[in-house]
Chain A
Amino acid sequence: MRASDVIRNALFALYFVAFFAYLFLPLGIMGAATFNESRFPTVTPWQGTTLQWFNELWADAAMWQSLWTSIIIAFFVVLVSLPIGTAAALVLTSLHQKARGPLYAVMVSPLLTPGVVIGIATLVLWRQLGVGGGVFLIVVAQSSYIICYVMLMIAARLQRFDRTQEEAALGLGASKFMVFRRVLLPFLKPALIAAAFLAILQSIENYNTTLFVRGFDTPLTVYIATKVRTGLTPAVNALALIMITASILGAIAYEVLRRREARRKANLA
């Protein structure tokens, strides 16, 4: 190895460590602050180790109420965006190549619209119709762009679908509805599950759009952001720590399953 290579590798290692420190240190500090007695969440100075903030989180009724609101919203967002996103993907892939481009551009446009603008546009339309902000408008506003993600995921899966299967089923006497129900839907099932999962994550995580259409309802993200201004305590950190732990466990479970699947495939081959 030449000297320049050694320097280059060392520089890259340094960058690599710095990158992951940048990614995880803030989360680590936020998590660690949960156990500090200090009323303001921090790790400096350490005033003593405690578990009291978990109790405080447990007793925070408004937080649980907002979590519940977020779950209800996510549920309805999935209910709205899964059928529409699937229909959009099916319509798009059934069309001729020429008609696809313009329709596709319209369909992905919400992804290129800033979140606050989606919220505002939804708010003003529904005010004209006499409907104010609240859970209903949050569902409508979030769905309008989450449908795009669902559509893209279903369309990606559809690209690998062999249309001759449909013809075979029709040839064997199945009705068109039967083909959809028994051939296409089972094929789309993994993508539908993944899309539902992504829709839930996107819905619970959203803040910028939700803020404008929330009315007097308070989903989790809005609640946390309000807490920062009205009196942040490490109880919020306890919540963050629980969510971080859950995502790390989820990631590990995913990796274990992936390796098992890869080994199974290797054994078959």
Chain B
Amino acid sequence: MGDVFKRFGGGLGTVFTALVLVWLAGMVLAPNITMIDYALRPNLPPSAIGGDQDVYSLSNILYLAGEDVHRAIFFKTIWASALVAFITFVVCYPIAYWLAQNATPNQTALVLLALTIPFWINEVLRTLAWYILLAFRGPLNEALLAIGIIDAPVRWFGDTGVLAGMVYAYILFMLFPIYNAIESLEKSQVEAAKDLGASTWRIHARVVIPHAKAGIATGCVFTFMLAAGSYVAPALLGAPGSRWFTQIIYNWFFEGGNWNRGAAYALVLLVLCLVVVLVTLKLARVNLTDVAK
């Protein structure tokens, strides 16, 4: 901290340090610590708080482990989020590669600009667009019926709807890191591989993807985290059978009235996300410093 004061003097140095402290201690650490505290305490009426029943235990977390439906939804949320990340990657990779390696500077600028347009309007409206498109008597079913691909309207709401809406919502978070990573690859490396007789498949598997590993890991981590923590897509595009873990958490808070159990569920979600993020980054040998660029 001495460096800060040396650079900015006592007055400004104190102001800057205080502001950072307010943020990290007051807005990041304290809320999370309180959440852990809530998660470990039982849900008691106000009169019993501080009494002999008010002791720390893991019962709220164990409740999740013992409740079949919630546990199943939890695991489904995890693998479905991983699936969202994977599909988003597959959808984005070719265009990221083309933008970074083959497009002219003007093409790149135009396409990147066009890509951001859906992201200037908010996530709820983006999801609403899918809600309208996928409706039972909506345009997608009508179009498929007209072409004759299906004989009867399909109920898209449910897992398919949630998946489509989420991939759509998080495309940019995947595309930009991959694009940035591939852009730094020398074109001559791809040329060299081609001249040496490597197939397209091999060039991507052995040259481009290893080079872009950090960007791919970053994109996947962000998409996974956003998907696992999303509420709006499952709420709008889901069906009763496709509930998301965030909806269970919401119900504990605003319908079940058990904030302690809700906090415990939220804590489990947070810990799991952090584990997935850190393990993925470790596997891809990416430094946390390089993630948020």
A152 touches B292 (CB 8 A): yes
B57 to chain A, nearest CB (A): 18
Stretch of B16-24, B64-72, B205-213 at the chain-chain interface: B16-24
Report the Cα distance A247→B59, complex, angstroms: 49
B286 to A: closest C-beta gap in Å: 13
* Bound: A148/B15 CA distance, A: 18
Specify which chain B residues have a CB less than 8 angstroms from the CB of A109 in the assembled complex.
28
Of B11, B95, B138, which one neighbours A42 at CB under 8 angstroms?
Answer: B138
B176 → chain A closest CB, angstroms = 13
Q: Which of B23, B38, B277 contacts A147 (CB 8 A)?
A: B23
CB neighbors of B among A35-75 (8 A): 40-44
What is the interface of chain A, defined by CB distance below 8 A to chain B?
Answer: 8, 12, 15-16, 19-20, 22-27, 29-30, 33, 40-44, 83-84, 87-88, 90-91, 94-96, 101, 104-118, 120-125, 127-128, 140, 143-144, 147-148, 152, 156, 166, 175-177, 180, 201, 204-208, 211-212, 220-221, 224-225, 228, 232, 236-237, 239-240, 243-244, 246-248, 250-251, 254-255, 258
- A207 pairs with B231, CB closer than 8 A: yes
| A-side contacts of B35, CB under 8 Å | 117, 120-121, 124-125
* Interface: B117 (CB within 8 A): yes
The answer to whether the Cβ of B269 comes within 8 Å of any Cβ in the partner chain is: yes
**By the criterion CB–CB under 8 Å, are B139 and A124 in contact?**
no
B274 on the interface (CB 8 Å rule)? yes
**Residue numbers in A under 8 Å from B133 (CB-CB):** 25-26, 29-30
A221 partner, pick from B122, B221, B292, beta carbons under 8 A: B122
Chain A min CB distance to B214 (Å): 15
Q: Is B135 an interface residue (CB 8 A)?
A: yes
Contact for A120 among B91, B130, B262, CB less than 8 A: B262
Chain B 120-147 interface residues, beta-carbon cutoff 8 Å to A: 120-126, 128-133, 135, 137-139, 142-143
Interface of A is mostly: helix
* B residues less than 8 Å from A112 (CB atoms): 221, 225, 273-274, 277, 291
Q: Report the Cα distance A264→B203, complex, angstroms.
A: 39
Alpha-carbon separation in the docked complex, A223 to B212 (Å): 40
- How far is it, in angstroms, between the C-alpha of A205 and the C-alpha of B124 when the chains are bound? 8
Q: Are B139 and A207 touching (Cβ within 8 A)?
A: no
CA distance A131 to B90 in the complex (A): 45
**Contacts A87-B16, A221-B124, A225-B235 given; does A16 touch B95 at CB 8 Å:** yes
CB neighbours of A24 from chain B (8 A)? 117-118
Interface centre among B11, B231, B270 (most CB of A within 10 A): B231
Whether the pair A124, B38 counts as a contact (CB closer than 8 A) is yes
Is B150 positioned at the interface, with any CB of A under 8 Å from its CB? no
Contact of A225 among B16, B31, B124, B142 (CB under 8 A): B124
**Is the Cβ of B23 less than 8 Å from the Cβ of A120?**
no
Given contacts A19-B95, A128-B34, A255-B113, contact A117 B269 (CB under 8 A): yes
Given the known interface contacts A42-B135, A96-B3, A228-B131, the answer about A207 and B28 at a Cβ–Cβ threshold of 8 Å is no
User: Does B232 lie at the interface of the complex (its beta carbon under 8 Å from any beta carbon of A)?
Assistant: yes
Residues on A with beta carbons closer than 8 Å to the beta carbon of B235: 225
**Docked pose: A123 CA to B252 CA in angstroms:** 14
Contacts of A205 in B (CB 8 A): 121-123
Q: Is the CB of A208 within 8 A of B266?
A: no
- The answer on a CB contact under 8 Å between A110 and B28 is yes
Whether the pair A201, B120 counts as a contact (CB closer than 8 A) is: yes
- Interface contact A30-B129, CB-CB below 8 Å: yes
Which single residue of chain B is at the shortest CB-CB distance from A127? B259
Q: Which residue of A lies closest to B10 (CB)?
A: A176
Q: Mark B276-293, 1 if CB is under 8 A from A, else 0.
A: 010000000000110111
What is the CB-to-nearest-CB distance from B168 to chain A, in angstroms, rounded to a whole number? Answer: 7
Contact B9–A177 (Cβ < 8 Å): yes
Give the chain B neighbours of A84 by CB distance below 8 A.
Answer: 19-20, 22-23
Residues on the A chain within 8 Å of B293, using CB: 152, 156
Chain B contacts of A25 at CB under 8 A? 133
CB pair A122–B31 under 8 Å, yes or no, is yes
Taking A44-B139, A120-B262, A120-B266 as contacts, is the C-beta distance between A221 and B28 under 8 angstroms? no
Is B27 in the interface zone, CB < 8 Å from A? yes
Q: Are B129 and A27 in contact (CB under 8 A)?
A: yes
Q: Which of B247-278 contact A (CB under 8 A)?
A: 249-250, 253, 259, 262-263, 266-267, 269-270, 273-274, 277
Chain B residue nearest to A242 in the complex (CB): B121
Contacts of A105 in B (CB 8 A): 288
Cβ contact within 8 Å between B221 and A26: no
B residues within 8 A CB of A29? 129, 132-133, 139
Q: What is the bound-complex CA distance between A204 and B32, given in angstroms?
A: 24
Chain B residue numbers with a CB within 8 Å of A113 are 225, 229, 270, 273
> When the two chains form the complex, which single residue of B8, B12, B270, B288 contacts A117, counting CB atoms closer than 8 Å?
B270
Interchain Cβ contacts under 8 Å between A and B, 22 examples: A23-B168, A24-B117, A25-B133, A42-B138, A42-B139, A90-B8, A101-B289, A112-B274, A114-B226, A116-B246, A116-B266, A116-B269, A117-B273, A120-B249, A120-B253, A124-B259, A144-B31, A221-B124, A240-B121, A240-B129, A247-B120, A251-B120
